[in-house]
């Protein structure tokens, strides 16, 4: 293997090339689980081998002391769970079964961290990977592809190389996985922007109650600027929860607590029979989730929906209500990505929205460009709630920003540029009007609009058309028609000379 240190993009490119084994034969929404799990196993194996070599040098080959020291490492690697062991058995007629056994044993040896993480991926599945012969051929190729990649920590370009490679892969899978992709991944620029807007500080407890693959949660943690923070997440989808767990470990955020649960029906982040409270709560929940659990919410033991029950077919305000109630009173900040309907729909949603405004919790309404998210082209908004505003008579305004027209257009998906994010954050920090871009609306304005928060009601982006000089335009038309007549006459002359009749 090469001694050159590998960058994030080099690791990503090598693993992405390994995906060719599955393309065309396995659904992209499914083969991401196989590739990302294999990447995780290869990293743990390479990391363990490098650590063993270091300990053997340190203890001068004393196997007993080496084994004792290895028991205190981040992960324990059983011999049959070692990637090298699997590679040596790549020609076995039951290679899929061997990989499953390797993962099961790895779970057993690391129950506190990995229990149930590999339960949703089956390397011996005929339905997913084909007949025995096809499956064996495919898995042998995957093992050979990954064997070419050196993931020893000392051979990676930086501490976050492997974690960022994992992020690159998740993004590519999300881009190609179709309509469902947005449920487990938030585009990196949007995550960066939201992380900056919620302003996490040292010592913060940070929650994402719909954490997907964990990318947004990691971005908010990094925004702190030190390792002094704690991450918590909840995710209902089993395979996505597993992706999130591995994502945390690959970013060396081993202490992150990621629960698999239905956040709205049965949240697991509970202490002393009450919801845990957090300094920062962020989420990109599924837009307008149908059948979110309204029938259970009527008797919610945590009283999260006291402002009103959201509609059965749209769970947007159910997530918002949960997030606000899990934010610390007096200081908690909430950032949530929502469809624009949340800003103006009536009925139960209108009543909840009015209560949130009257409670003086809403701090920012930010309109994003269209087509930023995987799987949907509809524009979205970011809402920031600040519980330090409650009871503060000096902070009654709500800042509205229309950032929908400033972005980089892509062939399949639009993207926020650095300058777009800088402008948004600077405008939020200043909290002042910017012509045709931002307006700090008063409580009276929102009341007069019947608590409809549709951004065009507060930010006038109308551009007057230039006045047309009719007389000058008519003269220009006459001049052009004269030139055209001359050209036609010349063309007719040339045609006659050539003996061609027009």
| pLDDT per residue rounded down to tens, the chain (502 residues) | 445 788 888 888 888 888 888 887 787 778 888 999 999 999 999 999 999 999 999 999 898 999 999 999 999 999 999 999 999 999 999 999 999 999 999 999 999 999 999 999 999 999 999 999 999 999 999 999 999 999 999 999 888 899 999 988 888 887 765 544 445 578 899 999 999 999 999 999 999 999 999 999 999 999 999 999 999 999 999 999 999 999 999 999 999 999 999 999 999 999 999 999 999 999 999 999 999 999 999 999 999 999 999 999 999 999 999 999 999 999 999 999 999 999 999 999 999 999 999 999 999 999 999 999 877 778 899 999 999 998 888 899 999 999 999 999 988 789 999 999 999 999 999 999 999 999 999 999 999 999 999 999 999 986 666 667 788 888 888 888 888 888 888 888 877 877 776 5
Cut 0.85: pTM above it: yes
Going 425 to 426 to 429 to 435, the CA torsion angle's sign is negative
- Of 302, 285, 291, 287, nearest to 233 by C-alpha is 285
CA distances from 366 to 268, 271, 335 (A): 31, 33, 11
DSSP structure string for 300-339: -TT-TTTT-PPPTT--HHHHHHHHHHHBPTTT-EEEEEEE
With left for phi above 0 and alpha for psi between -120 and 50, is residue 259 left, alpha or beta?
beta
With left for phi above 0 and alpha for psi between -120 and 50, is residue 130 left, alpha or beta?
left
DSSP structure string for 200-245: --TTEEEEETT-TTSHHHHHHHHHTSSS-EEEEEEE--HHHHHHHH
Specify the pairing of strand 438-441 against strand 398-402: antiparallel
pLDDT for res 175: 74
Exposure string of 33-58, with b = 16+ CB inside 10 Å and e = fewer, is bbbbbbbbbbbbbbbbbbbbeebeee
Rounded (10°) CA dihedral 392, 397, 403, 404: 120
Going 386 to 390 to 392 to 396, the CA torsion angle's sign is positive
pLDDT for res 1: 42
pLDDT for res 181: 41
């Amino acid at each position: 293997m090469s001694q050159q240190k590998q960058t994030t993009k080099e690791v990503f490119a090598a693993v992405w090339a390994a995906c060719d084994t599955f393309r065309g034969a396995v659904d992209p929404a499914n083969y991401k689980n196989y590739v990302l799990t294999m990447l995780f196993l290869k990293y743990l194996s390479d990391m363990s081998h490098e650590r063993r070599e270091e300990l053997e040098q340190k203890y001068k080959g004393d196997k007993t002391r080496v084994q004792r020291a290895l028991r205190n490492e981040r992960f324990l690697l059983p011999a049959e769970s070692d990637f090298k062991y699997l590679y040596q058995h790549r020609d076995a007629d039951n290679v899929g079964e061997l990989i499953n056994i390797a993962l099961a044993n790895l779970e057993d040896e690391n129950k506190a961290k990995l229990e149930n993480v590999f339960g949703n991926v089956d390397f011996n599945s005929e339905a997913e990977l084909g007949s025995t012969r096809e499956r064996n051929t495919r898995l042998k190729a995957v093992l050979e592809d990954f064997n070419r990649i050196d993931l020893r920590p000392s051979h990676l370009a930086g501490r976050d190389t492997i974690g960022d490679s994992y992020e690159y892969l998740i993004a590519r899978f999300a881009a190609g996985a179709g309509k469902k992709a947005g449920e487990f991944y938030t585009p990196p620029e949007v995550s960066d922007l939201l992380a900056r807007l919620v302003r996490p500080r040292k010592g913060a407890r940070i929650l994402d109650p719909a954490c997907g693959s964990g990318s947004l949660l990691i971005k908010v943690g990094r925004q702190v600027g030190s390792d002094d923070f704690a991450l918590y997440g909840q995710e209902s989808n089993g395979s996505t929860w597993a992706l999130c767990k591995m994502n945390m470990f690959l970013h060396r955020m081993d202490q992150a607590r990621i629960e698999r649960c239905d956040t709205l029906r049965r949240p697991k982040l509970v202490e002393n029979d009450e919801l845990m409270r957090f300094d920062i709560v962020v989420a990109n929940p599924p837009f307008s989730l149908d059948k979110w659990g309204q029938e259970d919410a009527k008797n919610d033991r945590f009283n999260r929906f006291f402002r009103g029950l959201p509609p059965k077919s749209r769970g947007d305000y159910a997530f918002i209500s949960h997030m606000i109630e899990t934010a610390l009173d007096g200081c908690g900040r909430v950032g949530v990505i929502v469809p624009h309907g949340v800003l103006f729909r009536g009925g139960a949603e209108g009543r909840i929205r009015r209560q949130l405004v009257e409670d003086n919790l809403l701090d920012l309404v930010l309109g994003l460009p269209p087509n930023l998210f995987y799987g949907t082209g509809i524009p979205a908004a970011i809402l920031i709630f600040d519980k330090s505003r409650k009871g503060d008579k000096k902070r009654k305004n709500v800042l509205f920003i229309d950032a929908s027209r400033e972005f980089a257009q892509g062939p399949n998906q639009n993207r926020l540029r650095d300058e777009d994010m800088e402008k948004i954050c600077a405008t939020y920090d200043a909290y002042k009007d910017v012509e045709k871009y931002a307006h700090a609306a008063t409580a009276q304005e929102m009341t007069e609009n019947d608590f409809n928060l549709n951004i065009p009601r507060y930010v006038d982006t109308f551009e007057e058309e230039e006045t047309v000089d009719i007389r000058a335009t008519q003269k220009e038309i006459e001049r052009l028609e004269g030139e055209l007549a001359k050209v036609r006459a010349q063309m007719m002359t040339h045609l006659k000379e050539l003996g061609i009749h027009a």
